Amino acid sequence: MKYTADCKVIEVLNLSDEQLIELSKKNVLSLSLEEMKAVQSYFKKLKRNPSDVEIETIAQTWSEHCKHKTLTGIIEYTEEREGEKTKKTYNNLLKETIFKATVELNKKWCLSVFKDNAGIIEFDLENGVAFKVETHNHPSALEPYGGSATGIGGVIRDILGVGLGAKPLANTDVFCFGDFGIEASKIPEGVHHPKRIMKGVVSGVRDYGNRMGIPTVNGAICFDDGYTANPLVYCGTMGIIPKDKIYKEVKPGDLILVVGGKTGRDGIHGATFSSVELDKESDVSAVQIGNPIIEKKVLDTMIKARDLNLYRAVTDCGAGGLSSAVGELGSKTGAVVYLDKVPLKYDGLRPWEIWISEAQERMVFAVPPEHKEEIIEVFEKENVEAVCIGEFTNEGKLTLLYNGEVVTSVDMEFLHEGVPKPVKRAVYKMKEEKIQEPVKMNSSEISISLKALLADLNVCSREWIVRQYDHEVQGQTIIKPLQGNNIEISGPGDAAVIFPYTVVKDTKRGIVLSNGLNPQYGKINPYKMAASAIEEALRNAVAVGADIRRISLLDNFCWGNPNDPEILGSLVCAAKACYKISKAFDIPFISGKDSLHNEYSIDGKKYSIPSALLISAMGVIENVENTITMPLKNDGNKIFVLGLTRNELGGSVFAKIKNICSGIVPDVYPKESKNVMEKIYQAVSENLIESCHDCSEGGIAVAVSEMAFSAGKGVKIDIDAVKTSYVLKGKEEIREEMTPAEILFSESNGRFVVEVKSDNEEKFGKIFKGTAFSEIGCVSNDKEVIFESKKNKVKIQEDFKVLLNSWRSTINW
Amino acid sequence: MFKIEILTKKGFKNPRSEHVLSDICGIGVKDVTKVEYSPLYIIDGGISSVEAETIACELLSDRITENYIVYLMQSGTERYCKVVSKSATEGDFVSVPSSDPNFSVIEVWYKKGVTDTVSESLVKAVKDLGIVKEIKVNTGHKYCLYGGVSRTILNIIATKLLANTLIQECKIR
């Protein structure tokens, strides 16, 4: 092998403020002036200029992607509600909201939270389950296939790199795209058409997940024009880990072993690139291409090595590459790395490129010297490349050598603690919400609206996507994403349940995965958006039989430019909601990630995406036999709505298709909802519920229709029997009679549609005594879906096949 | 240096061809009536034409549904390509003259330095086949388009549908 040693000295000591900023921009360091000055000051103390390797190392370690500077920095927040201004300074927004709730809830079954590559909760006495959700937005905008494939590949490695390594059991994926119906001529230069992005992203997740032998079991898609140039790609992985493998500790003298793929120029500046707005000049080198075959071999061999106790710590090479992985593992000790020992794809990489490359499928291990030969043998037996590139020390320094020459020597403390805390201003002014003019519609108009809702991009069938994924591989998926009587007729499941019987012998327990996301609410009220996303994730999990007392949450914030006070203000507002709702439901957050700077530039004008908070939920189900699906089961069974329907059409799908600009955004009433969710679990455990579906986008009408057409059955619903209630406007309760359309399409939280056998009605009623619920109809054998209000002389009657076709025809490529 | 092209036999469906045709219609181009898709491989190294044919036959093509053509690329350029072996019958070849205005070819290749995972797998598979020689592989895609389409439209199809110019380059003929 032949390399060109091209290590430059970067002049910083004598640069002016302007020159420092210019240097940061020119080298895609994404460091602010304050940060550049901190670098300058550190090297002034050392009385020398940094090398290019050193400056790149600092930029990666201090990147927003790795350090989460906004959420952990100082935020001076001003909130204005109904003319009253309140101010608060957050020294660490994450610690003072989301993490604070987890600390205060102090759940003993939370085994590892916010400190490793994923959150871990207890599965049983011997095992924990880990869950992580990541985003890969900018790479997916540039190269949808490669971007999303490496997104799922990266989050799988997070699970491999949690503790001493968890075995992945399931993947999740959630996407936000622009409307694919947009004319090609309206797409800005340098931007892929949303249809191309969507097809590429789905193919990328499909090819990587399927080839890894991991089922993709749960997901969601949101469409909005605001994501045309900057799509959002969330990928999640859940895995199981023995409890005695949860903790890792690097000891001085341990060898640094890099395992898996070779290093190339892939993804250079990926970590810092994520803090840069997208434009038509965005850089090719930020694109990574994945190779699932290598990662699959790494997975299989490292689990073997783990069970032989051959290493003390492991982490994945993600953003920032070796720089982040080695830096993270050695942050408390120190490390010496010989860059010329790193296996390369081709000659010609400069030392800094080797160090920060985000080439995929690499893991870094801390190996006691006495296990060196044995662990390398485990990997090499399966043709997995494993090479020692250095060792951890007790000197508290990061030292990098290339061909015998020191190219980096910086203190770990400066690297990890030296980043100045940014001070950012955040402003949130609450928008006034008011109830829309009464929505008066006749039977025919409601019927047309129902079909339009079912066909809407944010409601319609995702079958085209779901069927591309293998959701059965490993043979443990017992509640699947599509549910119905046969392959021709299916409806959308609320959540997935994995029964890990192949890895945990004799268990009856299962793991539930679900999600909640609704950026439309956030355009009006980010607090309610966050609260609703949490509640939706919980509802989805409860709807398949999860116990709300054993559910944990993950947050993924995708926001615009946090330097804009209003954008940051809405983020603070959403984080506050996370704290309050987490506490109110007694549900802890265990992990999370933020992706900021989701903005793009068209003709010099900058645009931010609609803020999106994805909440993912993971819970443990005591007995997988007590799980339920959403299609109706038997003619004659009774239909109930649990929870109250309020006049909440703000941000709803119905409001969008009817161009209703006003309306109250659905609020969350934790006391009511939690009570209902606890009782559903009890009723499911006693086998009193035949089917259950949560009410979200499209309200009761869509939920009932989906339950009916997925079963190929008819249903008769009495609209007048649905229990309605007040809405809160500030602290004021507003009570107004709702029209049939408002009842059918309101998106109030806290509601479920359930099917109960007549024989079980009494027992069911006893359980739900004291909560808001009402019997609204029954399953019929005439294949007709009927919604009727005698009081308002409204009757909607459609064959289930008509509704099914509306739902299935939008994305049917 | 050999170039190997894999063709779908007549009578068998090629889903990728159908998807591309559907996508072309989807962007409003109605003049393309048919698309034929073929994967391409350029193998550089000290292999013989017999070995190239073995790779084409044993590794790259499905004998039931596909044919292959192996070209010898003299001087390393496509201008001096000649067929050295093939499993296809004459009827399987695209024999429309390149001057026919109703026929166009778009080839898509990765740019230099971009990770090509298929080629990585192929290098390993060739060794597993018993051909122990150092080879380099480039993978590409060939789309034969039938129908009268202008160069501008071909450019749009190539760059908006078939290639991501950030990581790939396309050749239009």
From chain A, the residues in CB contact with B166 under 8 A are 142-143, 282, 284, 287
Token pair for residue B128?
Answer: 């597993």
Distance CA A198, CA A178 (A): 9
Q: Is B73 helix (H, G, I), strand (E, B) or coil?
A: strand
Q: Do B114 and A813 touch (CB under 8 A)?
A: no
Say whether A289 and B115 touch across the interface (CB within 8 A). Answer: yes
On whether any CB of chain A is under 8 Å from the CB of B127, the answer is: no
Residue type, A384: V
Q: What are phi and psi of A672, to 5 degrees?
A: -65, -50
Segment A164-181 mean pLDDT: 94
**CB-side neighbour CA atoms (13 Å) of A758:** 7
* Contact: A264, B27; criterion CB under 8 Å: no
Looking at the DSSP bridge assignments, the partners of residue A240 are A129, A167
CA distance A541 to A551: 8
Q: Are A469 and A215 in contact (CB under 8 A)?
A: yes
Q: What is the CATH number of domain A437-553+614-808?
A: 3.90.650.10
- pLDDT for res B27: 80
Cα A809 off chain centre by: 27
A218 pLDDT exceeds 60?
yes
Residue A410 and residue A59 in contact, taking contact as beta carbons nearer than 8 Å: no
Q: Tell me whether residues B28 and A142 touch, CB distance under 8 A.
A: no
Searching chain A, which residue's CA lies closest to the CA of residue B22?
A: A813
In the prediction, which pLDDT does A275 show? Answer: 52
Q: Strand ranges (DSSP E) for B14-134?
A: 34-45, 66-73, 81-86, 103-110
Q: Would you call A288 and B115 a contact, using CB atoms and an 8 Å cutoff? A: yes
In the predicted model, is pLDDT for residue A4 greater than 50?
no
From the list A789, A488, A804, the residue with the least C-alpha distance to A645 is A789
Q: What is the CA radius of gyration of chain A?
A: 27
- Alpha carbon distance A33, A445 (integer Å): 59
Q: What pLDDT is recorded for position A289? A: 81
* Whether B166 and A143 lie within 8 Å, measured CB to CB: yes
Task: Give B 147-166 residues with CB within 8 A of chain A.
Answer: 160-161, 164, 166
β strands within B20-134, DSSP E: 34-45, 66-73, 81-86, 103-110
The full set of domains in chain B, from first to last, is 2-172 (3.30.1280.10)
For chain A, counts of helices (H) and of strands (E): 27, 37
Between helix A144-160 and helix A292-307 the angle, nearest 10°, is: 0
- Do A195 and B26 count as a contact with CB atoms less than 8 A apart? yes
- H or E stretch at A429: strand A423-429
Neighbours of A87 (CB within 10 A): 8
| Under 8 Å between Cβ of A329 and A364 | yes
Angle at A334 between CA A331 and CA A340, to 5 degrees: 110
The answer to whether the beta carbons of residues A554 and A590 sit under 8 Å apart is yes
- Flag whether pLDDT at A636 surpasses 80: yes
Using the beta-carbon criterion (under 8 Å), do A143 and B26 form an inter-chain contact? no
Q: Which of B166, B167, B169 to mutate to test the interface with A (most CBs of A within 10 A)?
A: B166
| pLDDT category of residue A298 using cuts at 50, 70 and 90 | very high
User: What contacts B108, CB < 8 A, 6 or more positions away?
Assistant: B140, B141, B143, B158, B162, B163, B168, B169, B170
Residue A87 has pLDDT above 60, yes or no: yes
Q: SS in 3 state form for A700-743?
A: HHHHHHHHHHHHCCEEEEEHHHCCEECEEECCEEECCCCCHHHH
CA distance B86 to chain A (A): 30
Rounded distance, CA A166 to CA A160, Å?
5
Interface contact B115-A293, CB threshold 8 A: no
Least confident of A30-44, A524-538, B72-86, B152-166: B72-86
> Which contiguous run of DSSP H or E holds residue A216?
strand A216-223
Calculate mean pLDDT across residues A11-37. Answer: 90
When pLDDT is averaged across residues A359-366 and rounded to a whole number, the result is 92
Token pair recorded at residue A264: 């190339």
Rounded distance between C-alpha atoms, residue A69 and residue B67, angstroms: 56
Backbone angles phi, psi at A384, to 5 degrees: -105, 125
pLDDT tens digits for range A449-503: 999 999 999 999 999 999 999 999 999 999 999 998 776 778 999 999 999 999 9
pLDDT at A269: 60
Between CA B19 and CA B25 the distance in angstroms is 10
Q: How far is B50 from chain A (nearest CA, A)?
A: 28
Tokens of B156: 């749009």
**Residues of A annotated catalytic, as ranges:** 65, 136
Q: Are A423 and A73 in contact, with CB atoms under 8 Å apart?
A: yes
User: A residues 259-298 near B, CB within 8 Å?
Assistant: 264-266, 282, 284, 287-291, 293
Which tokens is B115 given?
A: 């990770």
If you average pLDDT over residues A57-65, what whole number do you get?
Answer: 87
Token pair belonging to A721: 């029997």
Compute the Cα dihedral for A457, A228, A290, A163 and give only its sign: negative
CB-nearest to A265 from B113, B161, B164 is: B113
CA-based nearest residue to A298, from A372, A381, A365, A361: A361
Closest by alpha carbon to A10, among A352, A398, A414, A415?
A352
What CA–CA distance (Å, rounded) separates B66 from A92? 61
Please report which residue ranges of A481-604 form alpha helices under DSSP H. 519-522, 526-543, 565-585
Would you tell me which residues 9-68 of chain B have a C-beta closer than 8 angstroms to some C-beta of chain A? Answer: 22-23, 26-28
Q: Do B115 and A291 touch (CB under 8 A)?
A: yes
Alpha-carbon distances of A376 from A254, A263, A373, A399, A520, rounded to whole Å = 14, 18, 5, 24, 51
* Average pLDDT for chain A: 91
Give chain A positions within 8 Å (CB) of B116. 289
Question: CA–CA separation, A538 vs A531, rounded Å?
Answer: 11
Least reliable range by pLDDT among A356-360, A372-376, A601-605, A719-723: A601-605
Measured at the CA of A17, the angle between CA A14 and CA A21, to 5 degrees, comes to 105
Find out whether A711 and A757 touch, Cβ atoms under 8 Å: no
Task: Measure the CA–CA gap between B6 and A599, rounded to whole angstroms.
Answer: 42
Bigger pLDDT: A83 vs A593 = A593
pTM, rounded to two decimals = 0.91
Of B27, B120, B164, Cβ closest to residue A184: B27
- Please list, in sequence order, all residues whose beta carbon lies within 8 angstroms of the beta carbon of residue B157, skipping any fewer than 6 positions away: B24, B27, B29, B32, B106, B145, B149
Residues of B in contact with A346 (CB under 8 A): 113
Q: How far does B83 lie from chain A, in Å, by closest CA? A: 32
d(CA A279, CA A269): 16
Q: How far apart are CA A44 and CA A26, in angstroms?
A: 22
CA distance A265 to A287: 9
CA distance B33 to chain A (A): 18
What ranges do the domains of chain A cover? Answer: 437-553+614-808
* CA distance to A649, B7, B60, B71, B148, per residue, from B82 (Å): 68, 17, 19, 5, 28
Q: Could you tell me if A150 and A139 are in contact, meaning their C-beta atoms sit under 8 angstroms apart?
A: yes
Rounded to an integer, the average pLDDT of A271-290 is 56
Of A142, A192, A266, the CB nearest to B115: A266
Residues of B in contact with A142 (CB under 8 A): 164, 166
Residues in chain A closer than 8 A to B164 (CB atoms): 142-143, 145, 192
Of A264, A284, A346, which has the smallest distance from its Cβ to B166's Cβ? A284
**Phi/psi of residue A681, each to 5°?**
-60, -40
Distance CA A131, CA A513 (A): 9
d(CA B82, CA A639): 72
Instruction: Give me the tens of pLDDT residue by residue for chain B, a chain 173 residues long.
Output: 899 999 999 889 898 999 999 888 888 888 899 999 999 999 998 899 999 999 999 999 998 999 999 999 876 566 556 777 777 665 555 555 566 778 899 999 998 878 888 998 899 999 999 998 889 999 999 999 999 888 888 998 998 889 988 889 999 98
Residue A231 vs residue A727, higher pLDDT: A231
Cβ <8 Å between A266 and B120: no
Q: Say yes or no: B111 contacts chain A, CB-CB below 8 A.
A: yes
pLDDT tens sequence across A698-743 = 999 999 999 999 999 999 999 999 999 877 777 777 777 899 999 9
Q: Pick the residue of B112, B119, B161, B164 with the most A CBs within 10 A to test the interface with A by mutation.
A: B164
pLDDT at position A108, please? 95
Task: Give the pLDDT confidence score for residue A1 in this predicted structure.
Answer: 30
| CB contacts, 8 Å: A287 with chain B | 114, 166-167
The closest alpha carbon to A324, from A57, A71, A7, A136, belongs to A57
